[in-house]
Structure 1
Amino acid sequence: MADPIEDVVRALARPGRETSDFDLNPGIVLPAGRVLRPAAVLVPLIGGPRGLEVILTKRSSRLKHHPGQIAFPGGKVDETDANGIAAALRETHEEIGLPEDNVEILGTMAPHETVTGFTISPVLGRVRAKFEARAEAGEVDEVFAVPLSHVTDATKFAIERRRWRGEWRRYYVVPYGPYYIWGATARILRALADRMA
């Protein structure tokens, strides 16, 4: 039987492009010379009862940025981090208790720009062995997993809109059960879905 991770590795070998929270909103003019803060997230893939699954978090409602939203584990790249991969692994360990040496790095995707001024580097990694997830108090309310087959199926995505800073803004959503996956997380997953198609 083929290892399902091979489809992901093949997808990462295909060309990709940078994405943005503004992709579906071409009329928004971004300020010239804007300075984006570097961040990195881990897209952790683990074998589960529904096949290969993606581990996600529900962010604390008390956070300044993206409170209560569904997100990949990760965060800002610190000066002490060697690179985005190191930052993603460090933040993931802090947020959900996944040991860094339990992750096999598969590759990275092109950066994603957020409306909050970050440029996020998505890092895909295979979780080698099961681990006990531990949500970081104050930052993460819940750690859960969704089937990779769901979030890489383009037919599961929809485009919705809401008003943001006085303008209508369109964005991708890919709901799963009680989880409303949208914004940057959904956009990154859609980019992966496009590469896996």
Structure 2
Amino acid sequence: MPRDVSSPAAREQLRALAARAARPVAEGGPGVASPSAADAALEPGTRAAAVLVLFGVLDGSPSDHAADAAVSRDLDVLLLARAATLRSHPGQVALPGGRIDPGDAGPVEAALREAREETGLDTAGVEVLGELSPLPLEYSRHLVTPVLAWWRRPSPVRVVDVAESAAVFRAPVADLLSPAHRVVTVLHRDGQEWRGPGFVVHDPAGDHLVWGFTAMLLDGLFDELGWTEDWDRGRELLLP
């Protein structure tokens, strides 16, 4: 059975960040936080969604990069690679999540439900720390609430539906923070140029590039936590 391991410094920094976001969840259980993207007035055509940003000390193959003191070599975040056949964001690395359904009590319930459906996660072992401010995903017209969580009791995860996901994996946070794994992604689309942060993730099943919305969310999160390391912002990667 997976062991219950904790990294107090990282967990408490994440908890403090959730508290600063003014959408904390009460100690002792997942619960449902205060009203947010689920019941906020959305612009016409915009849909509410939620993603689970799940950290924990889980990986049997820790990073060999020494990061911030709060970031242990085996601190991970749960990610998945979307199936290449999907119409929306095919092949991209993402956080577990999706639209908030009418039956969901709010972003927390939606994020946990989607993570369970996509990765087989046992959500009983997840401690929800709180909701962060909703972020717009303009390309697909969603308003996304990140739900920050800690993996108290690790459970196995996997691809549940190959039509939805190509891979489910835990990325060592120290690897993401390593300057050697940071790039600026450049995308040309419809005559415009889009530039954003990117992370190269080395997974036993194959390397992944984290870019787009997920990379922007993680980049901002790491900045807010004070975990970001100096890296070469002149290193660019042109996306196909």
Distance, in Å, in 2 between the alignment partners of 1:155 and 1:12 is 29
Residue number among 205, 209, 223 corresponding to 1:180 in the alignment: 209
Residue number among 6, 9, 12 corresponding to 1:6 in the alignment: 12
RMSD: 2.2
Q: What letter corresponds to residue 214 of structure 2 in structure 1?
A: T
Residue identity (%): 31
Residue 174 of structure 1 aligns to a residue whose secondary structure is strand
Q: What is the deviation of 1:79? A: 0.4
Residue number among 166, 169, 187 corresponding to 2:194 in the alignment: 169
2:95 corresponding residue in structure 1:
72
Distance, in Å, in 1 between the alignment partners of 2:7 and 2:158 is 31
Cα pair distance change 1:2/1:118, threshold 3 Å: closer
Q: Give unmatched runs, 5+ long, in structure 2.
A: 1-5, 23-42, 63-73, 227-240
Distance, in Å, in 2 between the alignment partners of 1:59 and 1:182 is 13
Q: Answer with 151-160 or 119-128: which moved more.
A: 151-160
Q: What letter corresponds to residue 68 of structure 1 in structure 2?
A: G
2:224 corresponding residue in structure 1:
195
Residue number among 40, 63, 66 corresponding to 2:50 in the alignment: 40
Residue number among 125, 143, 151 corresponding to 1:119 in the alignment: 143
Q: Answer with 149-158 or 124-133: which moved more.
A: 149-158
Pair 1:60 & 2:94 matched = no
* CA distances 1:100-121 after superposition (whole Å, capped 9, x unpaired): 2221101121112112111111
Q: Answer with 5-14 or 82-91: which moved more.
A: 5-14
TM-score by length of 1: 0.83
Q: What letter corresponds to residue 146 of structure 1 in structure 2?
A: A
Distance, in Å, in 1 between the alignment partners of 2:180 and 2:51 is 25
- Contact 1:78 1:87 (C-alpha < 8 Å) held by counterparts: yes
2:230 corresponding residue in structure 1:
none
Distance, in Å, in 2 between the alignment partners of 1:113 and 1:152 is 24
* CA distances 1:122-173 after superposition (whole Å, capped 9, x unpaired): 1011122221213122111111111223435688543221112221111211
Q: Which has the larger radius of gyration?
A: 2
- Contact 2:21 2:131 (C-alpha < 8 Å) held by counterparts: no
Q: After superposition, where does 1:92-171 map in structure 2 within 5 Å?
A: 92-114=115-137, 115-137=139-161, 138-151=163-176, 157-171=182-196
Q: What letter corresponds to residue 81 of structure 1 in structure 2?
A: D
Cα pair distance change 1:118/1:131, threshold 3 Å: same
Cα pair distance change 1:52/1:38, threshold 3 Å: same
- Contact 1:154 1:193 (C-alpha < 8 Å) held by counterparts: no
Q: Answer with 66-75 or 164-173: which moved more.
A: 164-173
Distance, in Å, in 1 between the alignment partners of 2:132 and 2:193 is 28
Task: Name the structure, 1 or 2, with higher relative contact order (CA <8 Å, separation 6+).
Answer: 1
Cα pair distance change 1:154/1:104, threshold 3 Å: farther
Cα pair distance change 1:74/1:2, threshold 3 Å: closer
Residue 208 of structure 2 aligns to a residue whose secondary structure is coil
Distance, in Å, in 1 between the alignment partners of 2:49 and 2:221 is 18
- Contact 1:172 1:183 (C-alpha < 8 Å) held by counterparts: yes
